[in-house]
Amino acid sequence: MAEFRLRIDGMHCGSCVRRVNQALAATQGIIVDEVHVGGAKLTATQDPPPVDLALAAVAKAGFTAHLES
């Protein structure tokens, strides 16, 4: 399992964290380790990690995300 982190723009409160957490938790192939204001730590159950699905889930929740290197 591969771990990756996202930088998420536009989050500013607990409600934002909840929305992103729910969106990522509903994404196949991803285990949510942590979501906080400005970012998320995730574990992929697939190889290669479904980063594109994670980014799409965050976008659907109303935020912009980027893979942290």
pLDDT tens-digit readout, 28-64 = 999 999 999 999 999 999 989 999 999 999 999 999 9
- Rounded to two decimals, what is the model's pTM? 0.92
User: For residues 11 and 37, is the Cβ–Cβ distance under 8 A?
Assistant: yes
Residue 10 DSSP label: S
Tell me the C-alpha distance between 1 and 9, whole Å: 26
β-partners of residue 4 are: 42
Domains of the chain and CATH, by start: 2-67 (3.30.70.100)
